[in-house]
Structure 1
Amino acid sequence: MSEQRNAPDPAVYANYTSLAFDRPAPRVLRITLNRPDKLNSLDARGHDEIARVWRDVDADASVSAVLLRGAGRAFSAGGDFGMVEEMIESFDARSRVWREAKDLVYNIVNCSKPIVSAIHGSAVGAGLVAALLADVSVAARTARLVDGHTRLGVAAGDHAAIVWPLLCGMAKAKYHLMLCEPVTGEKAEQMGLVSLAVDDAELQETALAIAVRLANGAPSAIRWTKYALNNWLRQAGPIFDASLALEMFGFGGPEVREGVASFREKRPPVFHHDAAL
């Protein structure tokens, strides 16, 4: 598919620094996680931006569909350790990230425009949130999806409880979330975790073609279908809220300190079990 590159309205998206925007087709806005030198990991600024951009998309009358992708070798390596360590040390930082993480999920759920994700390489953390909450998720067969929260020493709270059991069932959700077991794009499709898996070379073209089909479809019918289906997620809101609160609670405890230290030192974590709740 030939790409018609037109810049989006600069007044709407000019203040974003971790995200890049272009228009590969009429009425399709492409959002690119754009820190390729950091594998698109999200610092404090990036975490804020990926949470709030969906409100701008929803209000942008020129957009009928969104394509979300990552630049470079990965979709997103998740939150960077600088932000994690800030959360460990600061109640204010935990409060800020709690609000952003909550907004990320609910802003995607409530965005009226259909969202397509194109997942390649590693997809972790807030990037994985957006990838799996997209209305149509397309993964490269070799993509590597992992929710690493318990390995870090905190509860799997930033999206997992609201959507994984619905997508792949409770047994698979518990296995992958409690053990931080990675899943390839090919396996994710077999599990129902993503909509479609394709050969790596076909990922971007396939995802764009789906976004174009959505953009060219009946806008009210598509948006109302999304709204109705997302009531499955809205009714799971209290489950998500509890999981996110428990995740933030964990950032004030000892396990996350050992989790971060083990990552820094490239060794397995050693968690103490005498005080486990």
Structure 2
Amino acid sequence: MAFQHYSRIQFAYDQGYGPRVLVVTISGNNPVNGVDEAMHEELARVFTDCQRDPDSDLIVLTGKGRVFCAGGDLDWFDEQISNPASFRAIAPDAKRIVLSLLELEKPIICRLNGAAAGLGATIALMCDVIIAEDTAKIGDPHVKVGLVAGDGGAVIWPALIGMARAKEMLLTGDLISGAEAARIGLVNYAVPTAELDGKVAELAQKILGNPRWAVRWTKVVMNQQLRQAANLTMDAAVAYETLSNMMADRAEAVAAVKEKRPMTLSGE
């Protein structure tokens, strides 16, 4: 095992998906696998470590329990609002998460086992094949907590479903079901929970049944467009997201979510 010093991500081999499959499980310190500072830092290096792992040829990415990853942790949001410098400090890692995932040569299948929102959705959708529970909820609600969608959503959503649909999803912050996501081409498959592991195993073995380097380098070639889009977009996206963290309506939006009440927005 080549993975050390992780507290928010778990690693195991095979798990019923086949030999040389590495299962990477997002495991937050809260029931919805929300992203806190520790998880954000680990996400910035995990895909590089996966690339270096000598014992795997395919990655399955999933979440612990009944949620994939619900995006940013609300308590961490409060810290960022009270100390904007802490938000600015994570900018390099925010870009590294996206770029390291797109630079991963090994094929990666997302086992979308529940809600995926914000950064959780970005990571899921940047995988090569996404197999979701049909009842899973997927969306990028950055705007609902007063933030610009700066963590890669502006890169991957238009690439998968076109600009018009992507703008609707990111500007409303709405969530859709796994079944609807499959219908519009956001994910590859949406299946009942009981069939999720079987479908993941099926796709994993189909991919692994092909010559290793043909698979890896085909992925590399296809990801060139996404990498170019990320390089074009991410600096501005992270910069605008950092600015939005300092707006008055950002604090109000987070407070409203935590207090489960409507937002009272000032426009500032």
Taking structure 1 as the reference length, what is the TM-score of the superposition? Answer: 0.91
Distance in 2 between residues matched to 1:239 and 1:209, nearest whole Å: 35
Partner of 2:9: 19
Choose from 204, 219, 225 the match for 2:218. 225
Structure 1 unpaired stretches of 5+: 1-8
Contact 1:36 1:71 in 2 (8 A): no
Q: 2: CA distance between counterparts of 1:228 and 1:89?
A: 43
Structure 2 residue aligned with 1:3: none
Equivalent residues of 2:28, 2:39 under 8 A apart: no
Q: Which amino acid aligns with 2:3?
A: Y
Give 5+ residue unaligned stretches, structure 2. Answer: none
2:119–2:140 Cα contact (<8 Å) kept: no
CA distance in 2, matches of 1:126, 1:78: 5
Secondary structure at 1:84 match in 2: helix
Q: Does 1:108 align with 2:107?
A: no
Which segment is superposed worse, 143-152 or 236-245? 236-245
Q: The residue matched to 2:90 in structure 1 has which SS?
A: helix
Kept after mapping to 2: 8 A contact 1:67/1:208: no
1:124 paired with 2:124, answer no
1:250 aligns to what?
244
| Residues 10-49 of structure 1: per-residue CA shift (max 9 Å, x gap) | xx21311111111122111001112375221121111111
**For residue 259 of structure 1, what is the aligned residue in structure 2?**
253
2:105–2:216 contact (8 Å) kept in structure 1: yes
Q: Is the 8 Å Cα contact of residues 47 and 79 (structure 1) preserved in structure 2?
A: no
Alignment of 1:146-185 (within 5 A): 146-185=139-178
Once the two structures are superposed, the pairs formed by residues 28-67 of structure 1 within 5 Å of their partners are: 28-35=21-28, 37-67=30-60
Question: Which piece of structure 1 moves more, 144-153 or 264-273?
Answer: 264-273
Paired amino acid for 1:238: L
Cα deviations across residues 127-159 of structure 1 (Å, max 9, x unaligned)? 222110001111111110021111111111111
Residue among 90, 95, 104 paired with 2:83: 90
CA–CA separation in structure 2 for the residues paired with 1:37 and 1:251: 23
Kept in 2: contact 1:64–1:214 (CA 8 A):
no
- Indicate conservation of the 8 Å contact 2:122/2:156, yes or no: no
Pairwise CA RMSD: 1.5
Residues 161-215 of structure 1 show CA distances to partners (whole Å, capped at 9, x for unaligned) of 1111110011110111100111111111111111221122111221133223323
Query: What is the Cα deviation at residue 71 of structure 1?
Result: 1.4
Conservation of the 8 A alpha-carbon contact between 1:36 and 1:74: no
State the secondary structure of the residue aligned to 1:31: strand
Tell me if structure 2 keeps the 8 A contact 1:120–1:142.
Answer: no
Deviations along 1:95-116, one digit per CA (max 9) or x if unpaired, are 2322221111000000111110
Against the structure 1 CA distance between its residues 91 and 272, is the aligned structure 2 distance closer, same or farther, given a 3 Å change threshold? closer
How far has the Cα of 1:220 moved from its partner?
1.0
Cα-to-partner distance string for 1:210-246 (whole Å, 9 max, x where unaligned) = 2233233211111111111111112212123322221
Q: Deviations over 1:61-111 (max 9, x none)?
A: 221000011111111121212221222222431123222211110000001
Identity rate, percent: 35
